[in-house]
Structure 1
Amino acid sequence: MGLEGQPVRSFETFTSDLVSLKNYLLEHKVSTVAMEATGVYWYVLYDILLDGGLDVWLVDGRQTRQLPGRRTDVKDCQWIQQLHSYGLLNRCYVSEGHIKELRSYQRLREDHLRSAAMHVQHMQKALIEMNIRLPEVLSQVHGVSGMALIDAILQGERDPDKLFSLCHKKIRENKGEELLKALQGHYTAQGLFALGQAYKAYGFYQGQIMECDSQIDSVLQRINRDKNLPPGISEGKRKAIRHNKPHINNLGDHLLKIFDGKDATKLPGITDYNWLQLYTEVGSDLSRWPSEKHFTSWLGLSPGQDRSGKKNKSKSKGKPAVGKYSNKWPMDY
């Protein structure tokens, strides 16, 4: 219900003011509220209104942008209220409880992985600037052998033979001569400084990732505190996770318990880590999406359309494609 005939009230964004907003709505017997998703600014207000017992509808801005005339914050909120009163808005999907907490840790972990990858590139750059050609010989500079070599170089070791001995036996056997040549560098003070900075930064983010893994593990244990695997289901041998494997004990066991023994890793290309990522984003209840087409569109995998209505084959930069089902399914925030 709305506040027809009431003067427009505005509230500041401090927590006490948001609580006053909630109380104002309750005093006027408001039972449902629609609000537009704007970055991260809606998080706290959404939770406060929800805690007050209000039926809160988070809506995608694409549903409300067709407002004629000059737009203002007041006109926007009045327009959203009018659309909501007519039942023309779709509620966005907002994760709750354990899923909300899990997704926060998982997304933070992904941010740390991207930051760590950036510092791997910095290490590669510093090595190349000193003509230490490890990136051309080792498949991963940040692998066990690569990090052992970089650590020894930063500790002052310059002898190619001694550095060579730090590598894994198979690398020495398969790339011995090439590796020895790659380790004959032209060391500079500025190059070593840059290498040391990148090495420390990479190590820092690895520590941050481990802390995120610990938090994810803790939440999974809480979710499965009173759960057991269905009879006849055992974790068994799991698919190998080649990159960015989380340090979570019995991850597959946790996921099997959550999904009552149904194993998504039987699908091609799905490992326990992919499964965890999907779970933290969409939860275990897919009934929010009316069909597989709506779910595909939500994932950004359906063809987009330009303003003329023609299919746009080019991929948008930084934004998921919007298909014809975009206004019929719940967005994710």
Structure 2
Amino acid sequence: MDVLHERCAGVDISKKDAKACVRTASTKRRGTFTTETTTWGSTTNAVLALRDHLLAAEVTLVVIEATSDYWKPFYYLLADELNVILVNARQAKNLPGRKTDVSDAAWLAQLGAHGLLRASFVPDQPVRELRDLTRARTQLTRERGQTVQRLEKLLEDTGIKLSAVASDIMGVSGRAMLEALIHGERDPQTLAELAKRKLRNKIPQLTEALTGRFRAHHAFLTRLHLDHYDQLTDAIGQLDARLEEAMAPFRPALDLLDTIPGINRAVAEVIIAETGGDMSRFASARHLASWAGVCPGHHESAGRTKSTKVRPG
């Protein structure tokens, strides 16, 4: 098998340290290679020292396995002066029974030397920052939804069925009723009269739904949930404002994506943050769909299809 990189390094990363294996051609016997494995810390100074070590070894390729988020400081610092590729752990699996950090580093170096690894897509810094913002907003939005679910669960404990009548208990009418409950109002008719607009047509149903056993204990927890909901809403608003500024260079692509039926502004921002907005790095639309994880798997053996599940993406 051809050797594309006579001086190649593999780096196996963990939270506290990293094993770096430098694979170079042997000076004693032609066609053979020697390996040197060293251990380095994961702090910035240690990674910079590793970079100097690899530069001194004159490696032409550094292979890093994508391990959680631990690879990021290594990739960002080493890529400044070295040819670094990030590889998917599934594509660089070691042989069973040989799983150690040292052997993994050597295995990465060997695969990289023969060009058997495909580099993962690592976007530029502006796109990485967009990803951080959109992913944080997605997470906070999910947490806000979970807060509403906890509140609904709490109301079930009181026997109040507000969510069975009002589609959104965090709307103007729902919030007014919840605030009144917190402040001691227990009369179902009085609470139902707080309904606004179309919900006023359901005052009889609301009166029935708001009859329950709402105690001081429930008022305390409801207050906590409402405050948490408002904090998350405020944080999401700050992220939206920040994203508005960060999306300025991608405005044409964002406006174009927003015209597609079923894709709103927020989804368009996520698409740009995840793909970078530059489609030239993908050979075709099929490559993009495969990279995004929306293509079914293809695993066939002896004429039988074994798996077609979609991978996480």
TM bin, normalised by shorter chain, reads 0.7 to 0.9
Where do 1:1-333 residues align within 5 Å?
1-2=7-8, 3=22, 4=24, 5=34, 7-51=36-80, 53-67=81-95, 69-173=97-201, 175-221=202-248, 223=249, 257-259=251-253, 263-305=256-298, 308=301, 310-312=305-307, 320=312
Secondary structure, in 3 states, of the residue corresponding to 2:295? coil
Which position in structure 2 is the counterpart of 1:245?
A: none
CA shift for structure 1 position 21: 0.6
CA distance in 2, matches of 1:285, 1:116: 32
**Structure 2: how far apart are the matches of 1:189 and 1:19?**
58
List, as ranges, runs of 4+ consecutive aligned residues in structure 1 with deviation greater than 4 Å.
305-309
User: How far is 1:200 from its partner?
Assistant: 2.0
Maintained 8 Å contact 1:122/1:195: no
Q: Taking CA–CA contacts closer than 8 Å with sequence separation of 6 or more, which of the two structures ends up with the larger relative contact order?
A: 1
Give 1:193 deviation, angstroms. 2.6
Q: Distance in 1 between matches of 2:164 and 2:62?
A: 58
**Which structure features the higher share of strand residues?**
2
Q: Deviations over 1:233-258 (max 9, x none)?
A: xxxxxxxxxxxxxxxxxxxxxx5x33
* Corresponding residue SS for 1:266: coil
Aligned residues: 282
Cα separation, 1, equivalents of 2:183 and 2:123: 47
What CA distance in whole angstroms lies between the structure 1 residues aligned with 2:77 and 2:259? 41
Contact 1:58 1:91 in 2 (8 A): yes
1:211-267 residue CA offsets vs partner (Å, 9 max, x unmatched): 22222123224x3xxxxxxxxxxxxxxxxxxxxxxxxxxxxxxx5x332x9622333
Cα distance, 1:158 vs structure 2: 2.4
Structure 1 residue matching 2:149: 3-state secondary structure: helix
- Larger deviation: 195-204 or 79-88? 195-204
Q: Is the 8 A contact 1:126 1:192 kept in 2?
A: no
Check conservation: 2:158, 2:214, Cα contact below 8 A.
yes
Q: Which secondary structure does the structure 1 equivalent of 2:39 belong to?
A: coil
**Which residue identity lines up with residue 208 of structure 2 in the other structure?**
K
CA contact (8 A) 1:303 1:311 kept: no
Q: Secondary structure at the match of 1:7?
A: strand
TM-score by length of 2: 0.82
Q: Where do 5+ consecutive residues of structure 1 fail to align?
A: 224-254, 322-333
Identity of aligned residues (%): 33
CA distance in 2 between partners of 1:25 and 1:155 (Å): 66
User: d(CA) in 2 for partners of 1:155 and 1:103?
Assistant: 42
Counterparts of 1:112 and 1:262, CA distance in 2: 25
The structure with more radius of gyration: 2
Q: Secondary structure at the match of 2:85?
A: strand
Q: In terms of mean alpha carbon deviation, does 4-13 or 131-140 score higher?
A: 4-13
Query: Offset of 1:66 from its aligned partner?
Result: 4.4
Deviation for aligned residue 1:305? 4.4
